[in-house]
Structure formats: structure tokens, C-alpha cells
Amino acid sequence: MNRPIYLDHHATTPIDKRVIDIMLPYFYEKFGNASSIDHVYGNEAVSAVNKAREQLAHDIGCHSEEIIFTSGATESDNLAIFGVARILKEKGNHIITCVTEHKAILDSCKQLENEGFNITYLKVNQDGEINLKELENVITPKTIMISIMAANNEVGTIAPLKQIGLIAHKNNILFHTDAAQSFGHIPLNVKELSIDLMSISAHKIGGPKGIGALYVSNDKPLVKIMPLIYGGGHEKGMRSGTLNVPGIVGLGEASRLAHEEMKITEIKLEKLRNKLYNGISSQCTVKINGNSKNKLNHNLNISFENIDAKALINEIKNELAVSTGSACNSNDVKPSHVLLSLGFDEERAFSSIRFGLGKTNTEEQIDFAITEIIKAVNKLSNL
């Protein structure tokens, strides 16, 4: 068994070997620019990009013209938030989001506040869920967009997307969702869910880093956005810059595999996650953070009674790779904003560990992980 065993798949995932294989030719033999339409090199790149675009569209139930390739979910979130805000600012200056969002959303919203926008940050309950009544109550005639993540990257809570979409559309408001964690793990049909913009990332589902997409509805409603990057007018002018062809090919293939294998993968992940939880909780006192049922199958976020999470992670770091929370905050000494938003005190936040399971994890690895965690907890308790 290779160690440390990787149990931090919310931060990133290893690239699936099949995805690498399909990407490789696009670095060298088929290196063309997807904007070069005058020769075979360009044409090969164009058809590879088209194929990936159609694959993604198929997997989320939209048209291929509605997919804008970006550098990842951070850029997609920025493009959605600023893109909509800047184009609709005459219509209204109010956006509704939620306290447990990823920093890519929260920091974009903070910047919009500096630019004169009003942002409502919905609170969540102990399970990490927003209150739909409250959502309806905070809508004003100036509200232009609701941005609520599809599933939380720390505690895995899945949002009631369909209900949020209905509320948004009933009030003529756009609905954006950051689906970086849920894309490829739960079915996301954007039309059925009334989603108007959706951010996705390749590296959370066995694809390469630095590539993602923003779905932007092009019919009912026709959504217009202001670009963040100007240049050659790529991606219908919404995102200029030579397309990352190998990355796009990788994203398309990672999406295809994730969706075709979703049923089997999710059964496996749920089983492994439950095994991990049962193994740990039968031998020491832990509490689940977030809703224990309505959550991503590969997520387990638990607090250990009277244990400092950093000390525990340090104790097991040669055996297991886990984290306290969001990878973007890992150098912070601040407690997780998500866990505090769930109503927990700093002590509970500082005693929490996030496990993110992946499709390559095995039962044997989970057995080993349980043993190592219990050993470390016992050692730290006896200090």
C-alpha cells in the first residue's frame, strides 16, 4: 500500500489514467490552435474541443453553445458573479448568496460591495442548509442573482437546487450555482433544476488542474455576461484566450467517465465513507459536522472530542493525507468559516477533520486509516 493514503479528494483528485491517455496527443502531435481554421492542425483541435463541449453539454443537460471554458471553478465563479452584476447593474444591485460559500464566491461578493452592490449572505442551520422561506423574504425588486453552491466543499451538504431555481425564476432572478464539488457526483440537469449559470472544475473529478467551465443559459432565459478577460473574442467573447485544448479534452473525458460510472462509484464511496465513520465512531467520541444524510457520499467531516485536529493530522501525516477543511485556507490559523457558520464554537471547529474519499480508495485503505486514526487519538488523549 502506498502511503500516505490520500483522503483529501475535496481539495483535488489524481488524474484518471484514461483521461491522461486521451489528453496526451493534444500536447504534441495534435498541438494545433483551436482558432486556426486554415489547416488540419487547427481543425483537429477544433473537433476535439467540440467533442468535449458536446460531452459536457450532454452530461449537464444543456446545449453545447452554453458551455464556456475557463481555467477552473474559481474563474467560473468570478465570471458568473462579476459578469452578471456588471451587465445587470442598471436593473438592480442586489445579490443573494450564503455564508458557507467557497471563497471564490465570498471574496467576489466582497469586491462587489466595494463597487456599490448590496449582498445578502443567507445564514445556514446546523446541517449547513439555508432556509427557503428566508430566501424568499430577502428578495427585493433590486435582486438580480441568487448564487448558492450545489454542495459544500467542507461538510458536503447538498442544496435544494430545484426549489431555489423555482424561487429565482418565479421572481425573474438569475440562479448561479458553484457545482465544483457535486459535478460528476450527483446528477445535475441544469434545465430541470432551473439553473442559469453553473461553475464546474475538472480536477475535482479525476481531470487536470487549471481547466473548468461555466454553463451560461442561452435560452429561457438568455443570459448575458460581461467578460473578465478581453482579447481575441474566444468563447463567444465571454472568455478570450487561446483554448487549453489538452485540458478541455481532459475535462470532457473526466466528465464522461464520472457520469457513466456515477452509479457504481457513488455506491462504493458511500460504503467506504460509512465504513470509515463506523470504524472511527465505534472506538472514540466524534460528532458529524453537517447533515448526516443529505450530503455528498464521499464526504465525512467529524469533530473529535478533546482533540486538536492539527495535532491529529500531524500525528498521522506519514500514513494519511487529510485536512481540516478547505485547501485554500489550509495555511490559515483561523477556524473554518463554514464550521463557525453551522453554529459551532472555535473549539469544535479546531477539533474537526474533513475526509474526502475518492474512487481509487479501497476497503483495505479504510481499515488501515481507521487503525491509524484510533492509534493517534489514543496517543493524543493520553498526553
Ligand X SMILES: *Cc1c(COP(=O)(O)O)cnc(C)c1O
Where do contacts with ligand X occur on this chain (CB under 6 A)?
Answer: 72-74, 102, 104, 149, 153, 178, 180-181, 201, 204, 212
Strand order in the sheet with 212-216: 67-70, 212-216, 197-201, 174-178, 143-147, 94-98, 118-122
| Cα 216 to Cα 372: distance, rounded to the nearest angstrom | 45
Distances (CA, A) of 172 to 7, 92, 139, 220: 41, 12, 11, 11
Residue placing its CB nearer to ligand X in the complex, 46 or 205: 205
Smallest distance, ligand X to C-beta of residue 324, A:
15
Which residue matches cell numbers 437546487? Answer: 161
- Minimum Å distance from CB 203 to ligand X? 6
Residue nearest to ligand X (CB): 72
Q: How far is the CB of 83 from ligand X (least distance, A)?
A: 16
How is the beta sheet containing 299-304 ordered, strand by strand?
286-288, 299-304, 352-356
- Residue 181 or 341: the one with the smaller Cβ distance to ligand X is 181
**Closest of 136, 132, 130 to residue 158, by C-alpha:** 130
- Sequence-distant (6+) residues with CB within 8 A of 112 are 81, 82, 85, 95, 119
Using CA atoms, how far apart are residues 35 and 65, in angstroms rounded to an integer? 16
Q: What is each CA distance from 205 to 37, 60, 228, 262, 342, in whole angstroms?
A: 31, 14, 26, 11, 27
* Nearest-approach distance from CB 214 to ligand X, in angstroms: 11
Cell numbers given for 152: 459544500
Nearer residue to ligand X within complex by CB, 100 or 143? 100
Least distance in angstroms from the C-beta of 30 to ligand X: 25
Pick the closer one to ligand X by CB: 32 or 290: 290
Among 62, 98, 109, 328, which one carries the catalytic annotation? 328
Cis, peptide link before residue 141, omega less than 30° from 0: no
Contact present, 215 and 190 (Cβ < 8 Å): yes
- Nearest residue (CB) to ligand X, 72 versus 206: 72
**Element containing residue 190 per DSSP (H, E):** none
What residues contact residue 267 under an 8 Å CB cut-off, 6+ apart? none
Q: How far is the CB of 323 from ligand X (least distance, A)?
A: 12
Nearest residue (CB) to ligand X, 67 versus 377: 67
Q: Minimal distance in Å, beta carbon 92 to ligand X?
A: 25
In the bound state with ligand X, the residue whose beta carbon lies nearer, of 93 and 153, is 153
Q: Which residue in 72, 66, 101, 74 sits closest to 191, CA to CA? A: 66
* Torsion sign across C-alpha atoms 304, 307, 308, 310: negative
CA 74/CA 93 separation, integer angstroms: 22
284 is catalytic: no
Q: What are φ and ψ of residue 358, in 5° steps?
A: -135, 170
Q: Which residues are catalytic?
A: 328
